[in-house]
Structures are given as structure tokens and as C-alpha cells.
A and B are shown apart, each in its own frame.
Chain A
Amino acid sequence: MGTSRMFGPRRVEKSLLQRFVSLNWGIVLATILIATVGFAMLFSVADGQWDPWASRHLLRFGVALMLMLAIAVVDIRYWMALAYPAWFAGIALLFAVEFIGDTGMGGQRWLDIGFMRLQPSELMKIAVVMAIARYYHGRTQSQSRSLRSLLVPVLLLMIPFALVYRQPDLGTAIMIIAGGAATLFLAGVPAWIFVTAAVGIVPLAFAIWPFLNTYQQNRVLTFFNPESDPLGAGYQITQSKIALGSGGMTGKGFLEGTQSHLNFLPEMKTDFIFTVLVEEFGLVGATIVLGLYGIVLTYGLLIGIGCRNQFGRLLASGLAIALFLYVMINVGMVMGLLPVVGVPLPLISWGGSSMLTWMIAYGLILSVSVHRHVTIAPRGSGVV
């Protein structure tokens, strides 16, 4: 076995304690640092108050951190076995939202589960990557390249996309596609398919344009010309750019942001929280935070590369790339590089679902890391 020579002989099975000790603590630390930035910014948005956001954000993070660590020490083969059930559960939740969900921000997205309002579309992003990773784990290189085996993954991708798009939540729907597509690419689906899809997306965009909601159309239109309507839809982007730019190199200082504290910024505690950060800490602060995200991405990709089973590789890299895409889109959006599609900044933006997604995803990535030496048979379910 080439691979075993490559990594040297390992004792594959570990005790719970050993697994805990062998966690990738770099990821945990970076995650805690990012979340800490989140506490600080929510503290600032509330004009220097812990309530109502920073304190609850901290509490949620504490719970989510436990969850992440718990997921991390659970054997990867359990998660692989749960891949398809998780996908079906996600679909079921999306249907549930369709019928009994709460309406918020212009769409049905939320499911009230007592202690928090869950956004099933967020969890779906993980489930899609899991299911695709599971699917390709059992496929050989040549199978992975065949068009026929693409049928199931496309369904795994398009069904949740359609459901989330219907809510309507274009941003999350696109994120699901992006995360899934990245996983497919890593799994070895021929590159020309992606090139074709990328080229084909332009006519497709024109084709679906008439079916978009007015607010979605407006977002795209104001993206192309934000100054056209400075007090209407373009107001957000204009004010956001002013806040970003006026921060300069080192920012106006913690709690000193005028754009945020005088309420010129929209959606400060959610989608535009990065703007608050840059206004108060400047280019330096922004670079540090983006660097932290970069570190976490790099860890995720390295874990994938260092993993001995295909499921683990695809899961770790797919999730890491999908989550990093979140950061990219959110930051690109507030800088006026992308349309405002309503994507939060993971761990920093106020909101339980996106934090939960991030923590579960990195719990899984950590689990891949812990169990990187485990080899799993192509059909290999349930066996520990």
C-alpha cells in the first residue's frame, strides 16, 4: 500500500482522549479568534452594550463550540453513514419551512424550534457536500469522470437549490450550488463540464431574469449602478463604501465609527458587520480578520490533502471552500463588488444559523483530521 508507506504505519483506532488530543487546535483557536471579533463588533453595534447581541452571541458560540468538538471526536465513518440520511432530513426540513416556516426578510426561511429559529437552508449546505462526498467516495476515477454517474449528484444539488430558491433566498441557493459544485470538481468531474456551465450561466441568467422577484432584480440593478438611487436601494452600498473608505489604514477606533453609530449603515449586525469592523479598525483590522479566515481555509484544505479516505478528503476540502466562499461573497458584497444577496459573515454576523453551519462544518473537518488515517471501503458504511 503506497499510501501507508507515505504516511507510515499508524494505529488506526484511537481512544476518545487520544482523538481529543489529536484535534487540530489551530482551527479551534482561529475559530475562537474570529468569533471574538464577532463579540467585539456586536458589542460596538449595540453602542458599547453587551446586550442584546454580544452576550447572546457569546452564549451561542459556547454551545456551538461544544457541538463542534463533539462532532470532531465522533468517528468519520458514522458521519459517512449519516450522509444520505442527513440530506433527506435537510430536504424534509426545507419542505417543513415551506408549510410552517416563519417569514422574515422577505422570504420563508425560518423554522422555530423553540430555543432558536433554525434556517434549514444553512444546514442544507453541509448536507449537500456530505452527500456528494459520500457518493463519490464509492466511485473510481473513471466512474467519477463518466457523465452517467453525474445524474445522482445533480439531483442532490438541484433539489435543495430549487427549494431554497423558492423561499425565496437566492443568496443561499447560489451558495448551495457553489459548495456542491466545488465538491464535484474536487471529486474529478471533468473540467469541461464546469467551463460549459460557467459559460452557459450567462444566457441562463438572462433566461431566469424575468422570474426573479422585483427586490432581487433591484439588488442586481443597484449593484451595477449604486449611485443611481442613493436614498433607495443603492443607499446601503453607498453608505457601506463610505464607511469602509473612511476607516483608512487603522480605522476610527473601537466604538468610534460614525457611519455605524449614527445609523447610516444598514443591516449592521448581520450582513454589513464587516463594514463596521473596517470603519473602526481600518485596512489593518480587515487584513487580520481576512487572514484568520484564510488560515482556517488553509487548514481545511491541508486536512483534506492529508486524509486517506476519499469521503474525508472531499468533505474537508468541499466544506472549507464552501465556507470560505461565504466570506468572499459577504466581503465582496459590502465592498460593492457583488450584488447584495444577503450572505452573512460566518461567526461574526449576528444569527445562530450561520454560526451553527460553520461550527458543524468545521466539526466535521476536524473529525476528518482526527480520523485521517482511517481507510474506508468503497461501499463502507456503518463499520467502525
Chain B
Amino acid sequence: MAREGLRYQTYSRRTLLLAGLQGIALGALGLRLYYLSIVNGEKYRLRADKNRIFIRLIAPERGEIFDRNGEKLATNTQDLRALLVPEQADQLEPTLAKVQQIIDLNDRRLGRIRRRISRQRKFVPVTLAQGLDWETFSRLNVEIPQLPGVMTDAGHSRLYPGGEAIAHLVGYMASPDEEDIYKSPLYQLPGFKIGKQGLERRYEALLRGASGTRRVEVNAVGREIRELPPREESIRGNDLHLTLDMSLQQYVMQELGEEAAGVVVMDIASGDVLAMASSPGYDPNEFTRGISNANWQALLKDPRAPLLNKSVTGQYPPGSTIKMVVALAALEQGLISPDTTYYCNGRHRLGDHTFHCWQNRGHGELNLLEAIAKSCDVYFYEIAEKLDIDLIADMASRFGLGATFDMGVDGEKEGLLPTREWKRIFQQQSWQLGETLNVAIGQGAILATPLQLAVMTARLASGLQVVPRIVSDVEGNGNFFAPLDVNPYHLETVQRTMEMVMEEGGTAHDYARRKSATKLAGKTGTAQVRRISLAERQAEGGVLENDELPWASRDHALFVGYAPAEAPKVAVSVIFQHGGGGSSVAAPLARRFMDKALEAYESLEEVKA
């Protein structure tokens, strides 16, 4: 079988050849594996870990906000939420339909959810519902395995126990803007909110705290399997302590009711703002929950402007409350002495223009003290004729008018102190003497905020450059204020006139006040917002009374004051927008605010004793 032998030879040779080739191939595979697992093993181990280990942020608990007595103004409550990670949901609509059987989602809410899902990146969780009750929350948790992509979460949400009373100061929280979402990884956490207004915004960095991290093992679709130690806990944000006295603040708000008003009560010695009220208010908690469009529109359209903090943003003609400053300017210039008298017959002529005193029949002969006590306008027209407008502005600015104090509260405005230069720049005209006469009684171009008027009053009362503050743990303005650059004797004179305002014959005298009650000092103001025509003055009924006018044409009622008169502790300013007369409307309220504020001091003294 030679041929068989030949065939066998070929076969066995070729078998060995193929076996050799297979062996080489096997060796190549072995080498490849060696290359992957030994040479590059470390790299692939890292990549395997990167696949499965995710770093998740732990949101820090936000610091709380307290008033001066430790009462909570902003705090955190547990918030039970349902979230959806679109990337992990197999099918969106069936999942939403199933969720809807457990949580009641209305069409508007669903629309908003769908919009968010379509706009955001698919791994960013979308909040389906928040503020769930325990029963719904646990029912949802039971159903979770059948709802891919749905998660539950017990987070924190902000609560403002003070509600409306402090809305303007504390502000509120809201979700970061869509375009800001990549600025911080924290912003991508579901339901994470940042301070959007007020102190919440201003002290965001302080209040927020530092986020922690935890490492979680996830599977290929991103579902968390387990947590891997170590875990870095988040650091709670710092608390913010305000100078505010919440009980006083609440009292003030309650007294103001629905009127459009701004009130500032200050501790003179420290500059601490004890109350800073703006009425009407709004509920900041509504913003935390997500305000409805209807409510938002209502807030925007309300003529009483609830969203504005009138005590710092509202700029009003100060009316007669400016008269102390004008008097001081004249005294410092030596133009008058406290005993200088003028005769008031109810009007004052300058050129062919007649300036009227509020007292139509005139005050007769009076000196400076009487002029302020009775708030005679003619007396101040006489002074103004000799006093340059720039000197008035200079004195006013020493008392804090025209300045902002950057307290952290939103919307602080400068007001307006008109000067010759201001007129030239902004109206391209030269200053007219008639304008000085108007400014001297707090009318015309001059504007001030309630905060500025409170600071002015505190400075008048103390003779120190009092600077207001509302956040007590922020360093800077301690209790040591430099004295004002004003002759103390002149200051005493003005303080005396403010006491006389509250005494018999003064514009803010309270007949019912007990003789033993704390002595107060103050000044009324009534700021006219409309021009009274000659025809109206000469008409039979005379000048129209405030209650005969539409709301927006009525006078602003103002009052500034301090107490106790002999040893001033608190200063107050009250502005009632279109409220009527200073003596009839603003003064009685201001008296109550001062008395209430002093009560707190007394109880503090008792505790010390």
C-alpha cells in the first residue's frame, strides 16, 4: 500500500502543520490576554471602577435664620418627593400614567414635567411631586420596582414660620435658572434650591454649607446597587442671626394691616434694625412650593406693590420730617438762633408766586421751637430764602439721607438730595430759589426712604453717626459710632423741638396719653403728592380733604420719632403711602411702635435685674 502510505504522509504532515498554526493562534490569544490583563490591567481596573462607581453629592442642610431672640425666621422641613430620571425610564408615558394612579398630577403639572424632560439632559432627575404625605410616599415606594426611573427622596424644603411679616427681608428660595444648572454640580440635584431674593440670596454662600459625597455602585442602566464606603458627610450651612425682633415685627405688620406702608424701628445704640416692615406683604412659602401664575400676576398688579420692600425701596418726599435738618443747617450757618422769630399769616410770597402754610389761617409770631412743634411752613420758607440748597443737602447727608447702607436687604434705594449740581446735570437748568423753599418743607425733588428717615432720627437723637444693620453676625459696624459734626447745643435745641411736637400744642400731642408714660420725641410729616390748583384753594369748600380724593392722590402720612425722649433707645420712622395726615394717621401708630419696642427693653432690664 505505497499509495496509501503517500496519502498518509501528506495527511500527517499537514495535520502537524495545522496543529502548529493552531498552537501559534493559541499563543497569540494568550499574549493578547496577557497584554490586556497584566500589561494594561491597572488601566482596565480603573475603567471598570469608573463604570460602576459613581460619586453622588449629598446636599448640605441649609443654615437657619434667627431673630435677635432666637426665634426661627427660616427653617428646614422634611420634604417627601417623587423624582423621575428620564434616562432610566423604559417608556415615559406608561410610567407617568402609572405614577398618576398613585399621585394626583394635574394636566398643568404633567405638561411642566414633560417640558422639563424634553429640555433637560436625560440623566437629570425631574421632580414629579413634592410635599407628599407619608401614606402616598410609602405607597409609591411599594410600587417603585414596577416603575423604572422613578425614585423617592426625603429632602429638605425651606419653611418661613414668620410668613408675610419677613418676606421682604429674608426673601425666598427657588430652583436655579436653567442656564445656571451647570455652574455647580449641586444645582443638578433634584429639588435643589438657592436663595433667589433677600438675605437668602445675599448670604447664600454662608447659609448653603458644603456638599458631601457618597460613592455608589451602579449597574449598567445607572440604578444604584449599594453604597461603598467611605462617605463624606455634608457640612451644614451656617445660621444667620438677624437683629430683628420678630414679635415687634409681627406687631408692626399687624397694625399696618393692608395699608401700603413702610416702617423701620431701630436700636439707636447699636444701629440694630428691630423691625423693618413693608405692607402689604406676601407669603414666601408660596415661592418655595412654586407659586401659581394667577397669584404671581396678582402680586405684580396690586397697586400697593406687595413685592416691594417699601422701607428701603420706597422713596417718598419726607415732608415736614426734614425740618430738623433744615433748622440745623440754618443754626450751624448762624442764620438763625433758637429765638429767631418770624410771622406766619398762612402764606409767603416769592416773586409772583405764593407759598402756602398747611395752616391756612397762619400761626402768627413764632420762634424756631414753636415753628417745628407746630410744623409751620412759612417759618421754613423764611429760612430757605437765606439758606443755600447745597447747605441743606450737606446737612441732610450727614444724617444719612441720600445714602445706602448695604445691609443685605434687597432693593435699598438712595433717595434723592437735590443740589445745584444735580439740577444742572439732570435737568440742564440752574437752581431756582423757589425750589429751595419746597425742599425746606420736604417737598419738591427731595426723596427719602423710611430706612433713611429712621437713621436720620437715630442720629438726631444720639448725635452719633449711627449705621443700621440687620445681620448681627456680620462684622464691621459694632456699637461704636463717631459723633456727628454738628454743634451739640444746636442738636439739643432740635431734640427739644421734637419733644415739643409731642407736647400740648404740638402736632402729635396725644391728649389721652398718661402723664406717667414714657416721654417721646418726634416729628410729623404730610407729603403732598399732587399739585393744589389756585382754583381749588379759592373754591367754596377749600382744599379737598384726603378722604375726598382717590387713593393714589392722597397725601403720604409720615412720622419719625425716638424714645425715651430723655435717654433715647429706639428710633422709628413710619410712612403711610397715601395714608392722609402725619399727625392723624402716622403719629398714633408710631407711638404704639415705640412703646412696644420699649417694652422689650424693659423686659430685658427685668431679666438682667
Contacts and interface: CB of A to CB of B under 8 A. Distances in A.
Interface of A: 1-3, 140-142, 144, 182, 185-188, 239, 241-249, 258-259, 262-264, 278, 282-283, 286-287, 290, 294, 297-298, 301, 304-305, 310, 313-314, 317, 321, 324-325, 328, 331-332, 335, 337
Interface in B32-46: 32-34, 36-38, 40-41, 43-45
B218 A245 contact: no
7 contacts: A3-B8, A188-B10, A245-B36, A249-B37, A258-B52, A264-B220, A290-B26
A290 B30 contact: yes
Contact of B29 (A247, A262, A290, A301): A290
Interface in B1-58: 1, 3-8, 10-12, 14-15, 18-19, 22-23, 25-26, 28-30, 32-34, 36-38, 40-41, 43-45, 47-49, 51-52
Contacts of A310: 4, 7-8, 11
Contact of B3 (A140, A282, A317, A324): A140
A241 B32 CA distance: 11
A182 B11 CA distance: 11
Contact of B33 (A1, A3, A335): A335
Nearest to A249: B38
A325 B19 CA distance: 11
A252 to B, nearest CB: 9
Contact of B51 (A3, A262, A286, A287): A262
A1 B10 contact: no
A1 B51 contact: no
Given A246-B48, A294-B26, A263 B15 contact: no
A278 B218 CA distance: 21
Given A3-B1, A321-B22, A328-B25, A186 B37 contact: no
Given A1-B1, A244-B37, A246-B44, A182 B6 contact: no
A276 to B, nearest CB: 13
B225 interface: yes
Contacts of A243: 44, 48
Given A239-B51, A245-B36, A258-B52, 10 more contacts: A3-B1, A3-B4, A140-B3, A144-B10, A188-B11, A245-B47, A246-B45, A282-B37, A328-B25, A335-B29
A259 B48 contact: yes
Contact of B15 (A247, A317, A331, A337): A317
A142 B47 CA distance: 58
Contacts of B1: 1-3
Contacts of A259: 48, 51-52
B534 interface: no
Given A188-B7, A242-B51, A305 B15 contact: yes
A263 B221 contact: yes
B100 interface: no
A331 B14 contact: no
B41 A245 contact: yes
B37 to A, nearest CB: 5
Given A244-B33, A283-B38, A332-B29, A324 B22 contact: yes
Contact of B38 (A142, A248, A258): A248
| Most chain A beta-carbon neighbours within 10 Å: one of B1, B37, B218 | B37
Given A186-B18, A262-B217, A248 B11 contact: no
A141 B3 contact: yes
Contacts of A286: 33
A241 B35 CA distance: 11
Given A301-B19, A313-B11, A245 B26 contact: no
B219 interface: yes
B20 to A, nearest CB: 11
A306 to B, nearest CB: 10
B32 to A, nearest CB: 5
Nearest to B40: A245
Interface in B356-390: none
| Most chain A beta-carbon neighbours within 10 Å: one of B43, B44, B217 | B44
Contacts of B219: 262-264
A186 B22 CA distance: 14
B157 to A, nearest CB: 33
A266 to B, nearest CB: 9
| Most chain B beta-carbon neighbours within 10 Å: one of A241, A258, A335 | A258
B19 A264 contact: no
A247 B48 CA distance: 10
A324 B220 CA distance: 33
B52 A242 contact: no
A356 B225 CA distance: 38
Given A140-B3, A247-B37, A286-B33, A297 B11 contact: no
Task: Please classify the interface of chain B as helix (H, G, I), strand (E, B), loop, or mixed, using the class held by over half of its residues.
Answer: helix
A245 B52 contact: no
Contacts of B25: 328, 332
A291 B33 CA distance: 14
Contacts of B220: 262-264
B12 to A, nearest CB: 5
A283 B26 contact: no
Interface in B469-485: none
A359 to B, nearest CB: 21
Nearest to A325: B22
B18 A242 contact: no
Contacts of B22: 297, 321, 324-325, 328
The 10 closest A-B pairs by CB, nearest first: A245-B44, A246-B48, A263-B220, A262-B219, A245-B36, A246-B44, A246-B45, A248-B41, A188-B10, A141-B7
A319 to B, nearest CB: 12
A286 B41 CA distance: 15
Contacts of B49: 258
Contact of B7 (A140, A263, A283, A321): A140
B47 A246 contact: yes
B545 to A, nearest CB: 78
Contacts of A186: 11, 14-15, 18
A144 B7 contact: yes
B203 to A, nearest CB: 43
Contacts of B37: 244-249, 278, 282-283
Contacts of A244: 33, 36-37, 44
Contact of A187 (B11, B28, B47): B11
A241 B44 CA distance: 8
Nearest to A265: B220
Nearest to A321: B18
Nearest to A259: B48
Nearest to B53: A258
A314 B34 contact: no
A297 B15 CA distance: 11
Nearest to A335: B32
| Most chain B beta-carbon neighbours within 10 Å: one of A144, A247, A248, A262 | A262
A328 B40 CA distance: 22
Nearest to A313: B11
Contacts of B44: 241-246
Contacts of B3: 140-142
A298 B16 CA distance: 10
A148 B95 CA distance: 67
Contacts of B34: 283
A141 B6 contact: yes
Contacts of A263: 219-221
Contacts of B40: 245
A338 to B, nearest CB: 10
A4 to B, nearest CB: 10
A262 B15 contact: no
B223 to A, nearest CB: 9
A264 B51 contact: yes
Given A188-B10, A263-B220, A246 B26 contact: no
B235 to A, nearest CB: 31
Contacts of B41: 245-249
B45 A141 contact: no
A243 B36 CA distance: 10
Nearest to A328: B25
A186 B19 CA distance: 11
